[in-house]
Structures are given as structure tokens and as C-alpha cells.
Structure 1
Amino acid sequence: MIDVDAIKTRILSMMEQLGMTPSAFADQACISRSALTHLASGRNKVTLDMINKIVQGFDEWNPEWIIFGHGPQKRGETDSSDMYGGDLFSSASSVGEITPTEAHRESVSQHYFAPKSEPEVRIIEKPEKQIERITVFYSDGSYQEFRRATASK
């Protein structure tokens, strides 16, 4: 299970380490300023879309660290403080499994965090509407109805 509160803490830590204001951070990540403010205040939880935009906007930061808290904070760094003694995949090599290459990690990252294609917009032409009748109501309770003349064939 993903701990959204921990992700929020890591996002706020990123902002602090970068020395960025919430507005500048939101602008670089292409998320709304109010979304970041609501996240920081605890009003809203972090969303997958927000995580995706932050990962794309700050591509030097390690997505595994942002989401799971594993591995180094930035790509290409080593993390000596990791309690498992390496990155997310290091336990695999200790049991004799093949460790994914950096290229594989990059392709997985691009697969999960790639920008979505824009939806196709289709314009549907509707027939022109025509007035068939108009009803006028008077203050004395009476009314008068006017109907469109129909063409006789």
C-alpha cells in the first residue's frame, strides 16, 4: 500500500531542498497552485496525476524515492542511508536474481510516467432548431399562444 502522507512529506521536502516557493514549484510541475496549497495544508491528498506531473517536471529526482521513499533522492546518486543497503532492486541480487539495468529502470519509469495522449475532440453537428410555438402569459391569468405556420404540401 502506498502511503500518501509520506509522499506529501517527500514532495514538501523536495520543495524545501530546492529552495522553491510553492508557486514556483507548482509552475515547474505544471500543477495548479491551489492543488499544491491544498496538499500542503492537508485539505486534499496527493493524486496520481499530481505525482506524474511532479515526476515529469523534476526529472532529475528519482520517482522511486518520491513514491516509495526507496533509493536515492536524485537519479544517479547513491543512497547510503537506505536501511536496505541499496536501491529498490538491491534485494533481488542478494537472492541470486537478475538486477534490472539502468536502461530497464528508465523504460519502466517512462512507461508508468509517460504523458497521456490528448483525447480526440469530435464536433457533432446538430440540426438547426426552429421555434414551433410561443406562449405569452398576462398578469390577469390569461395567455395567448402563437404557433409557427406549417408549410402545406
Structure 2
Amino acid sequence: MINSTDFANRIKKVMDFHQLSASLFADKIGVQRSSISHILSGRNKPSLDFILKITTTFKNVDIHWLLNGKGNFPKENNTSTLKASPTPPNLFQDSSNTGKQIQRIVVFYNDGTFDEYRK
């Protein structure tokens, strides 16, 4: 269960870090200004949608930190581990020896477009 007071303090920390008032913060994440007011006052608890809007809008906010205070804010950027990783596996090869083979992979984007990858 989320502690409303601690959660509100973490939201305030994000707002202070980005130098945003409560109303600008609400506008930025796309919620009603009253939603921020009610959550900051402890009247309402945040919905999953509300939490995801924060973590989607502010990439430096870790969801684990926002929910329970574990982790760091701002979130550490771990791109160095991505650069050091070996070449990605060939997704079209069957590694489980079941004889099944992937024919195509389709990636759908939130703007309605998609990319298709074929062997």
C-alpha cells in the first residue's frame, strides 16, 4: 500500500527538481489540476494511470522510487550497460530446438504506425 504522505512528498520533490508549480505539473502530465491538489493533500490516492503519466513524462523518475521510495531520484542513466552488451541474439533462430521458427516480428507504435521485420 502506498503511503500517501510519502508519495506526496516524492511528487513535490519531482516538481521542485523540474521547477514546476502544481498546476504546471498537472498540465505537463495531462491530468486535471484538482487531481494534483487532492493527491498532495492526501485526500485521494494516485491511480496507476496517474503514476504512469508521471514516469512516462519524466524519464528521470523511477517507478519504484515514486511508489515506495526505493531507488534514486533522479534515476541513474544506465546506458553504459547497453553499450557494453554483446550483439543481440538472432530472434529468428530457434534456441529451444522445438523446430519452430519466427517468420516475422511486428512492432506497433502509439501513433498508429508499425514496423515489420521478416527473416
Q: TM-score, normalised by structure 2?
A: 0.57
- 1:2-151 mapped onto 2 (5 Å cutoff): 2-76=2-76
C-alpha separation between the residues in 2 aligned to 1:45 and 1:56?
Answer: 19
Q: In structure 1, give the amino acid aligned to 2:42.
A: G
Asked whether the 8 Å contact 2:8–2:42 carries over to 1, the reply is no
Deviation at 1:2, TM superposition (A): 3.2
Find the counterpart in structure 2 of residue 87 from structure 1. Answer: none
SS state at 1:25 partner: helix
- With over 3 angstroms needed to count, the CA separation of the structure-2 counterparts of 1:61 and 1:52, relative to structure 1, is same
Number of residue pairs matched by the alignment: 81
Instruction: Point out which structure has higher relative CO (alpha carbons under 8 A, 6+ apart).
Output: 2
Mapped to 2, the partners of 1:18 and 1:40 lie a distance apart of 17
Which aligned segments of 4 or more residues in structure 1 are displaced greater than 6 angstroms? none
Between the aligned partners of 1:5 and 1:60, the Cα distance in structure 2 is: 21
Flag the 1:65–1:24 CA change in 2: closer, same or farther, 3 A: same
Answer yes or no: is the 8 Å Cα contact 1:23–1:33 preserved in 2. Answer: yes
1:39 is aligned with what amino acid? I
8 A contact 1:29–1:54 mirrored in 2: yes
Structure 2, unmatched stretches of 5+, are 83-109, 111-119
Q: Secondary structure at the match of 2:74?
A: coil
Identity of aligned residues (%): 32
How far does the alpha carbon of each residue in 1:74-108 deviate from its partner, in whole angstroms, 9 at most, with x for none?
2226xxxxxxxxxxxxxxxxxxxxxxxx67xxxxx
User: Per-residue deviation at 1:25?
Assistant: 0.6
Distance 2:76 2:24 in 1: 25
Q: Secondary structure at the match of 2:13?
A: helix
Instruction: Provide closer, same or farther for how the CA distance between residues 63 and 40 of structure 1 changes in structure 2, counting only shifts above 3 A.
Output: same
SS of equivalent residue, structure 2 residue 75: coil
